Structure 1
Amino acid sequence: MSPGRAALLAGLSLLLALPLRAQAEDVDRDVVALSKFEVVGTRPQASDATALKLSTTVLDTPRSVTVFDASRLREQDIQTGGDLLFWVPGLNTNGAVQESYHFYARGYRMVPNDWRVDGFAGRVVGGSYSPNLFGVEQVSILKGPAGLLYGATSSPGGMINLVSKKPRDVASTTIETRVRTFGGGEVPLADRWSNEVELDTTGPVTADARLRYRALASLERSALAAESPADDNQFYRLAFSYKLDAAGRFDLTPSYEWTREDRAQRAPTISPASSRTTADGRTDYTFADVNSRSVNLVAGGRVDTNRTWGADLAANLTSVWKANVGFRYIDRDYVNDAYALNTATLRQTNAADPRAWVVSRRHSRAANTYRTTSFDASTTYEFRPAAWAKSLLQLGVNGRRNLNTTASSGNGADQSPVNIYTGVAAAPLVANAPALVPGNRTDTFTANAYAQSQTEFFGRTVLTLGFGTARDRSRTTTPAGVVTEPPDRKSSLTPNVALLHRLTKNLSVYASYSTSYSLPDSTYEDVTGRTGAFDPIEGENYEVGAKAALWDELVAASLSVFDTELNGVLVQSQVNELNPNGNRFYRQMDNGRKARGVEAEFTVSPIKAWDTTFTYAYIDAFDRGSTAALPDTPAEMTPRHAVSAYSRYAITQGRFEGLSFRAGVIWQSERWAASRTPTAPDPLLLESFHRIDAGLGYVYRGWRFALSIENITNEYYLLAGSTGVAFSPVNPRSYALRVSRTW
């Protein structure tokens, strides 16, 4: 540990005993019967508990935060987590928005555990599709590291927390139906109909409302892939909240969720004339000969079944002492039975026919289980040691046990060549995957403990300080019963510090230093042959910003400037460079990814029923390079500039009262499909693109009608694509109609 880090941690330890800021009053968000026209954009007075695990307003949070509420998710017809990434400054998708659980935050590729549900990981696992937003009340997006409160993570870019709908005191029931179809370019109108029916009901069970309930259900058939069975998805959730005492100081919320997602296999789009290797010197591509999005080249699919049991206890032990305890058990089964393309078999059967390209398919199967048990407990204590200071001390611990098993078949022999333009196959597909072979069983446990404080001085300046530590252990059992249990891994103390100053009641400025960490494999050897000698790989983030709600919220704005870097990256020695044990070894180097940039979001509301939100992100992200040949390589899937604008106007009186209009546009500059490496120095350079969306809405006596049109101009561009045999194009124009009734 560096002397500067040690001094900082010592200072934090002392300051944790100082007066701390009182926890902000909870914002009353228990409105079930939503007003006719809700505001859009991240409002500084909105409450968020993700960034600091404290119920704090966005205005008083010394980090970059974007908040989406349920009304905007519904209004823009945002169905999956990937759909909303374009509208968040600093974030970007990893590919087709319905398919990929990966996302990029500030230039860093984030992993499944960076999607949280009520602060818990495990609902999204490796290989998942983008998470469905069924039953989500709010989406809170934190930019920058979250290692202090949430534990180890591989990248410091950010975290997305999906806040579930909770039982309410006021009775309300909503039934909603939705239909969607594509219609643009080579995809004819009324192609691939999707439909969905949802039920959301909540209210008191007892007359005194001490016991409340919330039940949600959704049946969805989503036709995304051409000429293939629609995805058949089911979602059910039941939750109760019970005030254990008449005063309501203890509130217990048990819940159960069951989901089944039956998804068809997706196929990449192929362009035979485009670059098909990553070492041919080409970074361009062409749309002149891509296969049509109206043709299906694959078959089969996968089924994910998820069962989640949970409970949350909120306790007001005294007027100044509070505690929260949460538990989740997630039982997930994944079964894959798919016929995927083997793009290496792409060939032209007739040299004289430019549309005589065929590709073979291969059958594979897998069956995995994921069992995740998590807990999260924290307590806060408030006190006032002086008239000019008030304080809040927070202590917390969280942990997660993952028990995973795998079984796979490998690939069957290539078969059934299919023309990529017509979809005509040379022979029917046959099941030829080998038998399933059990894989390893892995059992891991991670725990994270932290202490955090907030100190408010003179009602203006807020100092936030904290540090945490983590421990990790794992055990692997092979099918033959051989057990491998490496030494436990542990982190050094990880500090966070932030300073926020309220220039006025509605204008604040802040500066923060935050960290993330990942624990290195304890079996890795260093140059001397030692194991367990490496420090955690650490992400560090420096950020300054401002937040404001001006002129009676005529303008709501936030601005952040950040510098994030990944240090202590483990780099393996060359094949001929061995340590005294005769093994290749690792060096720990500060040569990981670095990102710096600006994020801005502001909403203008010139009149009550007209809101327009603008976002802008400038990100300069690059790999500092493990080799001298490729220094400062630009980060993949990260545009230098990204802009979005979303505007909604509603008529609030007169003959057309209840009618609303909305429009949105996104634009991104060019971005690299992958990072350059010595063996693949020429990934595709994806061109800049824009997309225009629009919609109409109407509200009348509990009825809601909404028409959404996405990609109005039917632009054709790539969301991702490593080579010409792995394109991921945008969806064609689509139309969605929602009808709901609330009483």
Structure 2
Amino acid sequence: MRRFILLASAALGACPTLAGELDANAGGDIGVGPGDAIIVTGRVQRLYRAEETTVGKAAEDPMNIPQALQVINSDLFADQGARDATDIYRNISGVSFFSYAGVTFRGFRQDQSFYDGQRGNPFIGFSVPQLFNIERVEVLKGPAGLFFGPGSPGGIINYVSKTPSDTPSLRMVATAGNYDRIGISAEATGPVDANGIVTYRLGGFYESMDPYRVNTQNKSRIADGGIAIKTNEGGKLTLQAAIYDNYLRANRLRGVLTDDAGNFLTDIRWNANEPTDFLHLKSQAYQARYATAIGERVTFDAGVRYFKAREVQQYHEPRGLDPNNPDLVRREFRDQIRPVNGLSFMTNATARIDILGMEHKIQAGADWYDEKNILDSRILRTGVTSLSLSNPIYGTSSTDTARAALLPFTRTDTRTKRKGAYFQDQISLMQSLLLVGGVRYDNFRDGVTTSTGGTVSSRPTYKDDDVTFRTGLLFKPRSDISTYVSWSESFEPQSAASQDRNAGGPFAPVTGNQIEAGVKTQLFGGRLQADAAVYRILRRNILQVDPSLPPVSGVDQLAPIGEVTSKGFEFDLAADVTPDWVVLVNYGYNDTKITGTVAGQAITNAVGNRFANAPKHKVGFWTRYQVKAIETAFAFGGEHVSRRISLSGQTVKPYTIFDASIIKGLGFAELLLRVDNIFDKTYAASGFSAQSGHFPGEPRTFLAELRVQF
């Protein structure tokens, strides 16, 4: 706490005295009423709402999209003290944690994410997206191929970056907490010139902590900046850059071993990594976006994004219990380097035109992506000291790095190219009835070159194209109620490594489709938003080993013999119970089963006829009450995830945890005090394998933030 006080003093010392100029309700809506009286609406009113979303590549009212979606905004980030993507999953129905940045999405595992509608995630490999420079997170559920191209059918997550603002603002935050957490950040935005033609944004973030797992330490640095230029009436060019540096000591984490009933075999602080192990990610992302309105009925935008990342990791991988001593965990040492870079382009246009008395919102666009992904890996499998579960002694594997350095790297060089174009028409058949239809063409080319010591062992390549469709019907009995039914398709190219001719390749993509029906409401002037959706997703053409065919050159023969069906129901509620009290509730039910395969063959990430880490029930809630008289807001939330199974079929126990926070206005600033996992429950956030164990959830943690904004 001494560190916190010093940082807070430094932050406050850098700010001029505001002498009452700061309103206690900073962040509220301020308008001018009769007689020029200033009317301040409390920050809680419509606090976590989104009036429009760009998840469909063009700005649109969520009520007009025939598919379930959610938008998590920066107000919720702030109130929940969210740092990275894993902190917000509890707010999204149908989404739960799987591993690292991966999630279970409507029953399916996926790791895909987009930035400002484009491919190019700078958090590669085993790093988790940070939220410091993110304005909101948009979640489109179900197949999103029409706008985003090939991908998993569960849905996509789109991170929308903070951009320069016309309103001058400076925000500084000092952070402290248990596990030696300490941090400071600052961000400034506003006009450069007197006419506001050019605006800027600059931001910097630093945080360090020693998490609860033994030997670990995390240090995260982010620097981002941007310039926006008003090029014409309704037109703007935005240039942005972000640099990330994440150093994680002994934190290329696997789980903690469990028995088949899901009980941890040792303390959750146990770590297979040595103090000298590490993961270090350095990455940069640069993007430019031009958007303009042409008259009142036409919009156009185009964007380019480039990212470059390099993740270096040296770590000890657990390999299960020693059969001769159940207290010892066998290990191997891995030395890996992952350089990745990607370049993407996109363009979109919309036009509203009247044909035969009906308004058409026509939308068309195209995108292109090229990625180079290299993995240099060497693995030391012998002579690595096992580690005790009950009394781990570290420091005995100091020679592992040197011995591994004598091994040749195995290089896996993956090249991915994607290009596609789409067309959609939204027709207003009548004032209360909308018909949406869209088609997309995609062409892709994948290739993987595997070599050891410079000698190439395989070089499979594959190219193909596909056409997918999406259609939906919306009926609005009132302007604040929207009912819909939709049907959409998806496809995913097979893994390039699976296209080996010895394995029977090349193979056609995995295909999928979803039918969904739902209702969206914005009742009582938007104070009550309640959405519900029911869906059925079918996935076909999943590759499996074909036991009826003998191996070729030692490679198992594959065949597209898999089918999976996912059924579910989701409900989301956001309500201003009073002007000072807001409530968020989400619930997701999902039942994903293997509905077609060869007996005895398992689909990846599935055990028997069930998918790993796919809970049937997931509940999340958050409520915030503001007491204006004492300038304080009290918040309370929780999450429940039902029983799951791990990749090895071990039970992952259900859990329920609770969190709380207090936000106190200080006149010149505000103070957040937050506690996660109030009752210090020991639980598994997800399951992995019998060799690596389950990922434990965080024990009770405390966070304090002093925020100054003017």
The alpha-carbon distance between structure 1 residues 218 and 463, as it changes in their structure 2 partners (threshold 3 A), is same
Shift of 1:81: 0.7
The alpha-carbon distance between structure 1 residues 490 and 527, as it changes in their structure 2 partners (threshold 3 A), is closer
Q: Residue deviations 1:415-460, cap 9 Å, x none?
A: 4444333433483633332345261433321111111111112221
Q: Is the 8 A contact 2:123 2:129 kept in 1?
A: no
Q: Is the 8 A contact 1:527 1:586 kept in 2?
A: no
Q: Does the alignment pair 1:263 with 2:254?
A: no
Query: 1 CA distance for matches of 2:557 and 2:597?
Result: 15
| Residue among 572, 575, 579 paired with 1:608 | 579
- Any idea what SS the aligned residue of 2:171 has? strand
The alpha-carbon distance between structure 1 residues 292 and 47, as it changes in their structure 2 partners (threshold 3 A), is closer
- Any idea what SS the aligned residue of 1:697 has? strand
Query: 2 CA distance for matches of 1:502 and 1:711?
Result: 41
* Residue 391 (structure 1) aligns with: 360
- Any idea what SS the aligned residue of 1:149 has? helix
* Residue 163 (structure 2) aligns with: 166
- Any idea what SS the aligned residue of 1:86 has? helix
- Any idea what SS the aligned residue of 2:78 has? helix
Q: Does the alignment pair 1:34 with 2:27?
A: yes
Query: 1 CA distance for matches of 2:686 and 2:211?
Result: 17
The alpha-carbon distance between structure 1 residues 634 and 376, as it changes in their structure 2 partners (threshold 3 A), is same
In terms of fraction of residues, the more strand-rich structure is: 2
Q: Does the alignment pair 1:424 with 2:424?
A: no
Query: 1 CA distance for matches of 2:254 and 2:448?
Result: 34
- Any idea what SS the aligned residue of 2:180 has? strand
Query: 2 CA distance for matches of 1:40 and 1:179?
Result: 30
Q: Is the 8 A contact 2:462 2:499 kept in 1?
A: no
Query: 1 CA distance for matches of 2:46 and 2:425?
Result: 32
The alpha-carbon distance between structure 1 residues 167 and 718, as it changes in their structure 2 partners (threshold 3 A), is same
Query: 1 CA distance for matches of 2:241 and 2:323?
Result: 47
Query: 1 CA distance for matches of 2:268 and 2:653?
Result: 20
Shift of 1:346: 7.3
The alpha-carbon distance between structure 1 residues 488 and 629, as it changes in their structure 2 partners (threshold 3 A), is closer
The residue type equivalent to 1:165 in the other structure is K
* Residue 325 (structure 1) aligns with: 302
| Residue among 537, 547, 551 paired with 2:524 | 551
Query: 1 CA distance for matches of 2:686 and 2:483?
Result: 37
Query: 2 CA distance for matches of 1:521 and 1:434?
Result: 30
The alpha-carbon distance between structure 1 residues 623 and 135, as it changes in their structure 2 partners (threshold 3 A), is same
| Residue among 225, 229, 241 paired with 1:238 | 225
- Any idea what SS the aligned residue of 1:121 has? coil
The alpha-carbon distance between structure 1 residues 439 and 582, as it changes in their structure 2 partners (threshold 3 A), is closer
Query: 1 CA distance for matches of 2:80 and 2:497?
Result: 49
The residue type equivalent to 1:79 in the other structure is R
* Residue 658 (structure 2) aligns with: 692
Q: Is the 8 A contact 1:405 1:441 kept in 2?
A: yes
- Any idea what SS the aligned residue of 2:704 has? strand
RMSD: 3.0
- Any idea what SS the aligned residue of 2:27 has? coil
Q: Is the 8 A contact 2:532 2:570 kept in 1?
A: yes
Q: Does the alignment pair 1:511 with 2:485?
A: yes
- Any idea what SS the aligned residue of 2:88 has? helix
Shift of 1:583: 9.0
Q: Does the alignment pair 1:104 with 2:134?
A: no
The alpha-carbon distance between structure 1 residues 684 and 487, as it changes in their structure 2 partners (threshold 3 A), is closer
- Any idea what SS the aligned residue of 1:56 has? coil
Q: Is the 8 A contact 1:226 1:296 kept in 2?
A: no
| Residue among 533, 541, 558 paired with 1:568 | 541
The alpha-carbon distance between structure 1 residues 253 and 418, as it changes in their structure 2 partners (threshold 3 A), is same
The alpha-carbon distance between structure 1 residues 316 and 297, as it changes in their structure 2 partners (threshold 3 A), is closer
Q: Is the 8 A contact 2:640 2:655 kept in 1?
A: yes
The residue type equivalent to 1:734 in the other structure is T
The alpha-carbon distance between structure 1 residues 417 and 704, as it changes in their structure 2 partners (threshold 3 A), is same
Query: 1 CA distance for matches of 2:73 and 2:125?
Result: 27
Q: Is the 8 A contact 1:523 1:531 kept in 2?
A: no
* Residue 736 (structure 1) aligns with: 703
Query: 2 CA distance for matches of 1:373 and 1:484?
Result: 26
Query: 1 CA distance for matches of 2:356 and 2:159?
Result: 38
Q: Does the alignment pair 1:460 with 2:459?
A: no
Q: Does the alignment pair 1:82 with 2:67?
A: no
Q: Does the alignment pair 1:180 with 2:185?
A: no
TM-score (norm 2): 0.86
Query: 2 CA distance for matches of 1:497 and 1:548?
Result: 21
Q: Is the 8 A contact 2:320 2:690 kept in 1?
A: no
- Any idea what SS the aligned residue of 1:48 has? coil
Shift of 1:57: 1.4
Q: Is the 8 A contact 1:146 1:159 kept in 2?
A: yes
Pairing of 1:140-539 with structure 2 (within 5 A): 140-153=138-151, 155-181=152-178, 192-245=179-232, 247=233, 249-266=234-251, 267-268=253-254, 270-271=256-257, 274-275=258-259, 283-287=260-264, 289-293=265-269, 297-299=273-275, 300-345=277-322, 348=325, 357-359=327-329, 361-387=331-357, 389-411=358-380, 413-425=382-394, 427=396, 429-430=398-399, 431=401, 432-435=403-406, 437=409, 439-477=411-449, 480=454, 489-520=463-494, 535-539=508-512
Pairing of 1:44-83 with structure 2 (within 5 A): 46-50=51-55, 52-83=56-87
Query: 1 CA distance for matches of 2:102 and 2:47?
Result: 24
Q: Is the 8 A contact 2:81 2:674 kept in 1?
A: yes
- Any idea what SS the aligned residue of 2:87 has? helix
* Residue 513 (structure 2) aligns with: 540
Q: Residue deviations 1:619-639, cap 9 Å, x none?
A: 111112413458971222111
Deviates more, 1:663-672 or 1:116-125: 116-125
Query: 2 CA distance for matches of 1:426 and 1:215?
Result: 42
Shift of 1:202: 0.3
- Any idea what SS the aligned residue of 2:77 has? helix
Query: 1 CA distance for matches of 2:497 and 2:574?
Result: 51
* Residue 280 (structure 1) aligns with: none
* Residue 594 (structure 2) aligns with: 623
Q: Is the 8 A contact 1:241 1:253 kept in 2?
A: yes
- Any idea what SS the aligned residue of 1:568 has? strand
Query: 2 CA distance for matches of 1:407 and 1:525?
Result: 21
Q: Does the alignment pair 1:665 with 2:652?
A: no
Shift of 1:642: 1.3
Q: Residue deviations 1:610-658, cap 9 Å, x none?
A: 0111111111111124134589712221111111221100012x3x1x1
Query: 2 CA distance for matches of 1:120 and 1:200?
Result: 24
Q: Is the 8 A contact 2:169 2:709 kept in 1?
A: yes
The alpha-carbon distance between structure 1 residues 169 and 685, as it changes in their structure 2 partners (threshold 3 A), is same
Shift of 1:238: 0.6
TM-score (norm 1): 0.83
